[in-house]
Amino acid sequence: MSRVAAGTIWILFSTVALAQGGTGEWRFAVSGDSRNCGDIVMPAIAAGVRSNGAEFYWHLGDFRAIYTFDEDMGPQPNIIGYEVNAWPDFIAHQLAPFGDLPVYLAMGNHETIPPANRDQFLIQFADWLDTPVLRTQRLHDDPRDHKPRSYYHWVSHGVDFITLDNASTDQFDSGQMEWFQNLIQRDSASPEIQTIVAGMHEALPGSASSGHSMDDWPSGQVTGRAVYEALWHAREAAHKNVYVVASHSHLYMEDIYDTTSWKGKVLPGWIVGTAGAFRYKVPPEAGPAQKARAGVYGYLVGTVGADGAVAFEFHEVGLEDLLRANQGKQPEPLVRWCFSSNKE
């Protein structure tokens, strides 16, 4: 099916969902951080996501390293050649395996490492940031809003999926905060919205990965906490199901806001930076509640019930999955190196 045809079907489906709310159990998938070995790992993730019947995949940022060569791209003539090829390589080897399955992209901090920047991100990934679904949603919110942004949302089956941009230390800026606060107010007042799922690259402040999150810069602490409080209010006062997913730390953790920082205000939250990047050890802030898993690749599947509640389950991608997805496409020694050596 062509991208245009798939987008047309998705518009019709999403518009009906916007009006009618939940229509029964369905699934989506999410993970992030696919630099270093994403060309090896993402095809296996795509195969798993499709076999799980997910309706879309959400990538939470960091597509290529940019500051240095990604190991899975092989030898590059020079750094200029690498920088020119990095994002097209991501499209060709990491997005193409999803075929006609919708893919949504969030911006990561590596998408802002010079010479990369936010404007280039909007141009390079315009086909994913201004899809018929996102354009229809944007114009539904404001008929005058014709400008794609690095932050956006879309509604499906009564669930509002919100992609936030905290890829650089000037975020969340005033424009994004105003947009987000207005959106949360509309969602809170709308009987059609059962659930809010907020996705972003870096975890909000006060998480079990606070040493590698929006806690890293002063304005991030202020605006990140304001976003968290708004989401908490939507859950407690408006009785919405609310979930928060992030990546940035290259491991898997759940219940990341079950910390002393948010005692009495714990939102369900996950970190799933497991799509190919150099894998981290478990951070010292993490405790038993986080059920952290280091040294793994994989993705999170959210199963949405008729009431809008989402059950999340991590799906690990193992060596056999990588070998199967890359057979005849990538050298087997590289596949095995990515599995065994791309980690602390």
Tens-digit pLDDT profile for residues 201-259 = 999 999 999 999 999 999 999 999 999 999 999 999 999 999 999 999 999 999 999 99
Q: Alpha-carbon Rg of the chain, whole angstroms?
A: 19
Query: Token digits for 19?
Result: 């009006």
Tens-digit pLDDT profile for residues 121-170 = 999 999 999 999 999 999 999 999 999 999 999 999 999 999 999 999 99
- Report the distance separating Cα 152 and Cα 130, nearest Å: 10
Cis peptide before 97 (omega within 30 of 0): no
Tens-digit pLDDT profile for residues 272-318 = 999 999 999 999 888 899 999 999 999 999 999 999 999 999 999 99
pLDDT at site 19 = 34
Q: Are strands 269-272 and 241-246 parallel, antiparallel or unpaired?
A: parallel
pLDDT confidence tier of residue 24, bands split at 50, 70 and 90 = confident
**Better-predicted residue by pLDDT, 7 or 25:** 25
CA end-to-end span of the chain, whole Å?
41
pLDDT at site 285 = 87
Give this prediction's pTM. Answer: 0.91
Query: Which residue intervals of the chain are DSSP H helices?
Result: 3-20, 38-51, 79-90, 118-124, 126-129, 132-141, 174-189, 218-236, 319-326, 332-341
- C-alpha to C-alpha distances, 45 to 22, 32, 75, 206, 342, nearest whole angstrom: 27, 11, 24, 29, 17
For residues 51-61, give the mean pLDDT: 97
| Cβ–Cβ under 8 Å, residues 195 and 243 | yes
The residue to which tokens 């009906």 are assigned: 16
pLDDT at site 75 = 87
